[in-house]
Amino acid sequence: MAVLVTGGAGYIGSHTLVELLEASIDVVVVDNYSNSKPEALNRVKRITGKDVTFYEVDLLDEKGMEAVFKKHDIEAVIHFAGLKAVGESVALPLSYYHNNITGSLILFKLMNQYGVKKLVFSSSATVYGLSNLSPLIEDLPLSTTNPYGTTKWMIEKILEDIYQADPTWQIVLLRYFNPIGAHESGLIGEDPSGIPNNLMPYVTQVGIGKRKQLGIFGKDYDTPDGTGVRDYIHVVDLAKGHLSALAYTTTQQGIEAINLGTGKGHSVLEVIKTFEKANDVKIPYTFMDRRPGDIGTCYADVSKAKELLGWEAKRSLEDMCRDAWRWQSMYPEDYVND
């Protein structure tokens, strides 16, 4: 019996693999390396001392995916694979809908065919849209503002319909808040290509001197210091949340959306200050206009995760800053060749 992990070479997937392997859970990984590198899996092996069964296959390749289901006795699936850049999704909606929706449909069809009905799906806090107020609770009305977010919302809906038609499925929709940081070994972490869209990789690249200064998007939000507030969660805490969700699918039938966050909001200025103090590195910044589509404040109500999964985040913002910096400073340019 094994757990199929789609997108396991990616940022969150690789950290989750470490936790799964360390818990002696058998894994089978598929990834097409569209946003990751084979080295990530070598690093997972280095950290855990365990081999990873891996197939370089695209979710859109139904025959290739079916071969994996045929060959292995899959018991459950953790589905990370997907494209995730908000701005790119606005420019390339067809690619996003095709990759994320069609890829998921093929996966769910094969799961149904092979009687695999336990699923943990990577959703996002982006499905709460712009108008809900934090702390965000799971049963709020959902809306999205870009094709990426819409793929998450649509996949959640598709899974609800699958469950309605066949209540023997056991599905957890994990709505991640803002995952940052890296494994404490410094061997795996986030590896953005090009100019980072997200705050922490931008901060670490300024720290290392790759970028001159951080642009802070907006200083007039209705927040204590005027800069945007988010619920940053250490990627290792997030990874551990998947093991709890997986365990939940083995005992409970149903479909549940569950927030994974810390329940605490931190502003951009707080992140900079914490990063500077934790690492003794200066982060020059300048204020810029608000980024279109951003909201002032977004943080989770985390009581459902605690109640249903018995999980809560343990690591502090300081831990996140220290671990993100260790990863960046071990590999200033390119983690494969440095």
Question: Under rule CB under 6 A, which residues in 56-95 are in contact with ligand UFG?
Answer: 84, 86
What CA–CA distance (Å, rounded) separates 253 from 233?
A: 27
262 interacts with, out of ligand NAD, ligand UFG, none, CB within 5 to 8 A per kind: none
Closer CB to ligand UFG, residue 119 or residue 268? 268
Query: For residue 135, is the peptide bond before it cis, meaning its omega torsion is within 30 degrees of 0?
Result: yes
> Does 219 sit near ligand UFG (CB under 6 A)?
no
> Does 147 sit near ligand NAD (CB under 6 A)?
no
- Catalytic residue, chosen from 96, 148, 221, 299, is 148
Type of residue at 305: A
> Does 80 sit near ligand NAD (CB under 6 A)?
yes
One residue of 43, 72, 84, 242 binding ligand NAD per CB under 6 A = 84
Is the distance from CB of 3 to CB of 243 less than 8 angstroms? no
34 interacts with, out of ligand UFG, ligand NAD, none, CB within 5 to 8 A per kind: ligand NAD
Question: Under rule CB under 6 A, which residues in 126-145 are in contact with ligand UFG?
Answer: 126
User: Shortest distance, CB of residue 309 to ligand NAD, whole angstroms?
Assistant: 17
> Does 124 sit near ligand NAD (CB under 6 A)?
yes
Tokens of 278: 């934790």
What CA–CA distance (Å, rounded) separates 322 from 303?
A: 27
Task: Quickly list DSSP for 185-254.
Answer: TSSS-----SS--SHHHHHHHHHTTSSS-EEEE-S-SSSTTSS-EE-EEEHHHHHHHHHHHHHHHHH--E
One residue of 3, 4, 5, 12 binding ligand NAD per CB under 6 A = 12
Task: Quickly list DSSP for 163-175.
Answer: HHH-TT-EEEEEE
Burial environment of residue 36 by CB neighbours within 10 A (0 to 12, 13 to 18, 19 or more) = buried
> Does 202 sit near ligand UFG (CB under 6 A)?
yes
134 interacts with, out of ligand NAD, ligand UFG, none, CB within 5 to 8 A per kind: none
DSSP 300: B
> Does 246 sit near ligand NAD (CB under 6 A)?
no
> Does 261 sit near ligand UFG (CB under 6 A)?
no
Closer CB to ligand UFG, residue 95 or residue 250? 95
One residue of 4, 10, 128, 231 binding ligand NAD per CB under 6 A = 10
> What count of other Cβ atoms lies within 10 Å of the Cβ of residue 207?
23
148 is catalytic: yes
What CA–CA distance (Å, rounded) separates 31 from 13?
A: 10
Q: Give me the active site residues, please.
A: 148
Q: Which residues bind ligand UFG (CB under 6 A)?
A: 84, 86, 124-126, 149, 178, 197-199, 202, 214-217, 228, 230, 268, 291, 294
